[in-house]
């Protein structure tokens, strides 16, 4: 069977046509568009934005870099082009999620301006720290008591009468929206999760920051050296007597 280039113009058009009912609302990219997008990320060319204005893009870059900054070990989320990734997520997200996220971005600037007199992009590091400390306060909440267990334990024939979960984040997670967060806190939590995903799936995140060593051809998996009867230099465990 032939192993040719996987994508042709024809399939791209066909894919768009086939999904017309669902996709016309979304400005999602053709296959060539995505390939171009990947190339931009790889070569550090100027962004090709789907949703964000260039001013918004700059604010997002500053925000994601504040979440995962460059340090001695590796570049941060800005160089890993996480802002471009978030722009793509926005472009492919349902309209209500995109609107909610964009109003969160506006609220970030509004909060920044009311507290410090200037938009987020212009804040010095100490004020960024103070602002993010506040809005990250409720980012990780204990899950509400699990509804699935009682539902499954219901007597036969009875159906659960609980609120169904909803698509709730840019990454497409399905869960119950948490009323304990302010809109700005929800915006931070969502952006941080997307930043984590964008950064740790990038070349910078995987290879430079995490120094992940896998996905290579191995003659044999090595494992802990105690398995070979030696003391292990990686974990310090002693070989078994």
Ranges within 111-130 binding another protein (CB under 8 A):
129
Q: Mention every residue, 6+ apart, whose C-beta is less than 8 A from residue 193.
A: 169, 170, 171, 173
CA distance 124 to 165: 39
Query: Does 67 sit near another protein (CB under 8 A)?
Result: yes
CA distance 179 to 153: 27
Among 55, 130, 172, 177, binds another protein (CB under 8 A): 172
CA distance 1 to 70: 46
Specify the stretch interacting with another protein by CB under 8 A; choose among 54-62, 84-92, 97-105, 112-120: 84-92
CB 86 within 8 A of CB 196: no
Specify the stretch interacting with another protein by CB under 8 A; choose among 14-22, 51-59, 101-109, 110-118: 14-22
Query: Does 49 sit near another protein (CB under 8 A)?
Result: no
Among 165, 183, 230, 231, binds another protein (CB under 8 A): 165
Write b or e for each residue in 202-236: b if 16 or more Cβ atoms lie within 10 A of its Cβ, otherwise e.
bebbbeebeeeeeeeeeeeeeeeebeeeeeeeeee
Specify the stretch interacting with another protein by CB under 8 A; choose among 54-62, 103-111, 179-187, 196-204: 196-204
Among 174, 180, 183, 231, binds another protein (CB under 8 A): 174
Among 51, 78, 85, 98, binds another protein (CB under 8 A): 85
CA distance 6 to 31: 10
Among 179, 214, 229, 241, binds another protein (CB under 8 A): 214
Query: Does 68 sit near another protein (CB under 8 A)?
Result: yes
Contacting another protein within 29-48 (CB under 8 A): 31-32, 34-39, 41
Hey, what are 89's tokens?
């997520």
Specify the stretch interacting with another protein by CB under 8 A; choose among 53-61, 106-114, 115-123, 188-196: 188-196
């Amino acid at each position: 069977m032939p192993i040719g280039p996987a994508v042709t113009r024809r399939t791209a058009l066909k894919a768009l046509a086939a999904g017309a009912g669902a996709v016309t609302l979304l400005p999602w990219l053709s296959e060539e568009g995505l390939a171009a997008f990947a190339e931009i990320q790889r070569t550090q060319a100027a962004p090709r934005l789907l949703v964000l204005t260039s001013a918004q893009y700059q604010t997002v870059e500053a925000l994601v870099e504040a979440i995962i900054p460059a340090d001695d070990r590796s570049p941060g989320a800005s160089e890993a082009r996480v802002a471009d990734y978030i722009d793509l997520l926005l472009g492919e997200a349902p309209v209500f999620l995109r609107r909610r996220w964009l109003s969160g971005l506006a609220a970030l600037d509004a909060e920044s301006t009311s507290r410090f007199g200037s938009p987020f992009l212009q804040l010095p590091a100490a004020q960024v720290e103070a602002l993010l400390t506040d809005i990250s306060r409720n980012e990780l909440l204990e899950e509400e008591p699990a509804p699935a267990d009682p539902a499954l334990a219901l007597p036969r024939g009875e159906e659960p009468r609980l609120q169904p979960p909803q698509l709730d984040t840019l990454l497409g997670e399905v869960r119950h929206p948490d009323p304990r967060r302010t809109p700005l806190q929800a915006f931070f939590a969502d952006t941080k999760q997307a930043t984590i995903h964008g950064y740790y799936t990038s070349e910078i995140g995987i290879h430079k920051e995490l120094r992940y060593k896998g996905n290579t051809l191995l003659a044999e998996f090595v494992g802990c050296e105690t398995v070979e009867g030696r003391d292990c230099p990686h974990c310090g465990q002693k070989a078994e007597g």
